[in-house]
């Protein structure tokens, strides 16, 4: 079905890549349920819904702004020219309005969580929206993307406890290095285009081989922090099964993406990372409620 023939809702879901919510939402669940168990708090489905809405609205705003900010580049890049704004399915003004509405809804939702979350909401928005501009001036744009998604576990934890603690912060660092690592893989597709437009990425700066090495180092750091969090959090056997699967999926990404063959980048980026996120979160949460 062509973009012009789809429903407006379908177009906007495609515009924000709704399926990619699967990267951050499972880690938000980890933060939420970790907080519930840590504080022995009653499970509030209303609070859980508010957390999900925060993730949804923040991600909508971030992705919408990314598409709006990059619209001229997307027109020139054959890989992205079919996106909604370059295809004139969604007007730039409508995209910007979508961003503003979701940003306001995000801040409004944090008001119903607690004062700390509301106070920090502009900081969170600055990070998740600011990422879209970073590749214009720094090769570390992947780190900023990782930082944006890393807000999910600690943000969900704050929603319940209104305080910072070590273990949820460790999960944020897991997400930061994990996302930065797979975003480097994704950026391999656009090296030549990025060079032609003076856009910055670590593959542009380092070349394919060295970028892949750095991506592997980032993923190794993520795995190490998974292990550290497991010991500090005193998790049981289910956690370690999840950690093993998570680590294996990350390792497999680097087995199928090579400097001379990036044909399976989308498999590594979308499928394997979605599996890693969902499976790991499922085992962590199961461990929290069955073995703690």
Give me the domain span that covers residue 45.
8-290
Mean of all residue pLDDT scores within the chain: 95
By the 8 A CB rule, do 241 and 230 touch? no
Q: Is the pLDDT at 127 greater than 70, yes or no?
A: yes
Residue at 183 is within a domain: yes
Residue at 208 is within a domain: yes
CATH label of the domain that carries residue 223: 1.10.357.140
Per residue in 61-102, pLDDT (tens digit) is 999 999 999 999 999 999 999 999 999 999 999 999 999 999
Domain count for the chain: 1
By the 8 A CB rule, do 236 and 291 touch? yes
By the 8 A CB rule, do 144 and 202 touch? no
Per residue in 165-178, pLDDT (tens digit) is 999 999 999 999 99
Sign of the Cα torsion 147, 151, 153, 157 reads positive
Residue at 65 is within a domain: yes
pLDDT value for 291: 82
Per residue in 255-276, pLDDT (tens digit) is 999 999 999 999 898 899 999 9
Per-residue confidence band for 5, with pLDDT thresholds at 50, 70 and 90? low
Residue at 14 is within a domain: yes
Tell which residue, 57, 50, 59, has the closest CA to residue 17: 59
Per residue in 27-72, pLDDT (tens digit) is 999 999 999 999 888 899 999 999 999 999 999 999 999 999 999 9
Residue at 134 is within a domain: yes
Let me know if 252 is exposed, middle or buried by CB neighbors in 10 A (0-12, 13-18, 19+): middle
Per residue in 235-244, pLDDT (tens digit) is 999 999 999 9
Q: Is the pLDDT at 1 greater than 60, yes or no?
A: no
Residue at 1 is within a domain: no
The pTM of the full predicted model, rounded to 2 decimals, is 0.96
**Token code pair at residue 96:** 């910007």
């Amino acid at each position: 079905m062509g973009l012009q023939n789809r429903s407006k809702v379908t177009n906007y879901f495609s515009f924000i890549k709704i399926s990619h919510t699967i990267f951050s939402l499972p880690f938000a669940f980890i933060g939420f349920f970790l907080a519930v168990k840590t504080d022995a708090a009653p499970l509030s489905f209303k609070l859980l819904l508010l957390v999900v809405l925060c993730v949804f609205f923040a991600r909508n705003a971030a992705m919408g702004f990314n598409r709006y900010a990059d619209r001229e580049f997307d027109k020139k890049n054959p890989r992205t020219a079919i996106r909604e704004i370059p295809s004139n399915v969604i007007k730039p003004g409508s995209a910007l309005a979508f961003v503003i509405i979701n940003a306001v809804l995000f801040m409004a939702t944090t008001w119903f969580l607690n004062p700390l979350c509301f106070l920090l909401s502009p900081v969170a928005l600055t990070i998740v929206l600011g990422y879209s501009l970073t590749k214009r001036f720094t090769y570390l744009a992947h780190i900023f993307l990782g930082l944006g998604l890393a807000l999910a576990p600690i943000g969900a934890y704050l929603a319940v406890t209104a305080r910072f603690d070590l273990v949820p912060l460790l999960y944020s660092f897991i997400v930061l290095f994990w996302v930065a690592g797979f975003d480097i893989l994704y950026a391999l597709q656009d090296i030549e285009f990025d060079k032609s437009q003076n856009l910055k990425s670590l593959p542009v700066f380092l070349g394919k081989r060295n970028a892949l090495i750095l991506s592997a180092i980032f993923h190794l750091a993520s795995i190490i922090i998974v292990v550290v969090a497991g010991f500090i959090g005193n998790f049981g056997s289910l956690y370690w099964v999840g950690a093993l699967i998570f680590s294996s999926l990350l390792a497999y990404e680097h087995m199928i993406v090579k400097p001379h063959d990036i044909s399976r980048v989308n498999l590594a980026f979308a499928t394997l990372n979605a599996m890693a996120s969902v499976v790991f979160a499922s085992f962590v949460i199961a461990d929290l409620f069955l073995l703690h």
